[in-house]
Structure 1
């Protein structure tokens, strides 16, 4: 049964917040982010209604507050590539849907501007093709977002890299590297648009196909497996032949008597730990925490609580080949 709790994000959370706001017990923004303010308001509502006070919006609390049956998160109806991209994007940007598709940062790393769910950027030349495609295929929508600055951005995209990098640096703080308004808001609006999100998903599709092939190579059959391999490709780039050998050797020690689901989770944990062990010491435990969250289906990453099934519709079920 679906439930919404601390760390949940999306349109369903926004509905919860709106109802609580109408009752005068939630004073925060309608941002679709189930944080401490939302949890506190839910607990107050549950106390008033004589419900179990746990801060979780399950079937009983949803029925009393919103009415009807608690819905499955809308992201659960999206294809698996979108769900995997959303999860990894949430890790990468620290925000949920749709804002993970609109994450924007400045030149703190020398890349000019980094944007989108996988932080494509000007410095490496990975962002320009996405913006050009958007401008060419959805010119009217793009112009409605950038308004009288559309022609300026378009011309910079057609020019040289040096000029583009200078432009990128001119629209952000020189030391704190946040984009000035209205540029930040314009890029955020672009990333929230359905058109640009489709371009982001398509751009990440090669990685998604590679993640599915890795699942075949490592005998992983679940949606969680695809999500794990996709996150490895994004954050870590690959699995070396040496690490692969360790993983496959560990697989041999798995008890043949385990139930199918338990065996799959065991394999996922092995992959997660072995890939983390191979990471640089500075990042090793961050990699492990992130990967084990996927393997286990839940956890806390960068202070944010995750439940893959409830928040992203990623479950321990077979993915469609």
Structure 2
């Protein structure tokens, strides 16, 4: 697992929903025959067109990526930060951070009631396959009852009891869940459906602060805000601080604006994890590991997926 202990609950925000979401079914980027997402032997999703020459923006030579490509590349970057393996559907962590457990691409967990709804969708999609992932010692009936009732407290009790009694069985069950293609498609859709709208809300908020700098959205900006939304839920808490710095410093580029935004939002988080937040986001914006020290804590998060920033960071996200 990566950093579910670093994450704050997502802030409620009006108008966040599915309308702006490009799902795997709606986009042809990274899809194979029959609409199936394509993954390589390491679990990385193929990004159709990402290795090919990118289209020129209308009226100029600036390269573009599609929104679907931007979403998929952002997921590659963030999922590596979350679990030290890009697009790791089987990423799993125990109760070390008092969240019960964390699982999947972006480390959904019982403690913040994000994992239960995800598992419920898997159960509804294929009850037999889901039940088949859980061995005879896992007390699956108790988990199913807790999911059916939407009882997050009972879900926490179930995972803590199983981890204390038979941790190998607990681990094997979720490794099995993460190996089922149908369930992985649910993980992917849920990650995109939740965090793309939050990312676009942050884009709109920055456009209100500095409209001239945000006319065309660069991929590195999208990726940094996507990662921020996964870890901190958005920039709403820091709008006043961002606005003040923008007024005083007058950033001349989108990248400079984004650096202000991610740092100010990080500094309103838990003091123990501010340097981690800054290292992740500044690494995305610069395309290289970035060392940050806050409150005596130093972090320098490496991520091989940052190569995507070196290649596509300045590309505009088409239509956004």
Length-normalised TM-score, structure 2: 0.63
Any idea what SS the aligned residue of 2:85 has? coil
Task: Name 2:161's counterpart in structure 1.
Answer: 170
Q: 1:314 to 1:234 in 2, by over 3 A?
A: farther
Q: Distance in 2 between matches of 1:199 and 1:11?
A: 15
Q: 1:165 to 1:223 in 2, by over 3 A?
A: same
Any idea what SS the aligned residue of 2:178 has? helix
Matched, 1:209 2:197: yes
Q: 1:102 to 1:141 in 2, by over 3 A?
A: same
Matched, 1:185 2:156: no
Task: Name 2:35's counterpart in structure 1.
Answer: none
Conserved 8 A contact 2:80-2:303 = no
Matched, 1:270 2:260: yes
Aligned residues: 241
Which consecutive aligned stretches of 4+ in structure 1 deviate over 6 angstroms post-superposition? none
Listed one character per residue, the Cα deviations across residues 41-97 of structure 1 (whole Å, up to 9, x for unaligned) are: xxxxxxxxxxxxxxxxxxxxxxxxxxxxxxxx7543364333323322221222223
* 1:1-321 paired onto structure 2 within 5 Å: 32=42, 74-77=45-48, 79-97=69-87, 99=88, 101-146=89-134, 152=141, 153-159=143-149, 160-173=151-164, 180-204=167-191, 205-218=193-206, 219=214, 221-239=217-235, 240-249=238-247, 252-254=250-252, 263-299=253-289, 304-310=302-308, 315-320=313-318, 321=320
Listed one character per residue, the Cα deviations across residues 252-272 of structure 1 (whole Å, up to 9, x for unaligned) are: 342xxxxxxxx3333333333
Q: Whose helix proportion is higher, 1 or 2?
A: 1
Q: Distance in 2 between matches of 1:197 and 1:82?
A: 14
- Segments of 5+ residues of structure 1 without an aligned counterpart are 1-9, 15-31, 34-72, 255-262
Larger Rg computed on CA atoms: 1
Which structure would you say has the larger RCO, counting Cα contacts within 8 Å and 6 or more residues apart?
Answer: 2
Length-normalised TM-score, structure 1: 0.63
Conserved 8 A contact 2:283-2:301 = no
Q: Distance in 2 between matches of 1:168 and 1:313?
A: 42
- Segments of 5+ residues of structure 2 without an aligned counterpart are 1-37, 49-67, 207-213, 291-298
Task: Name 2:55's counterpart in structure 1.
Answer: none
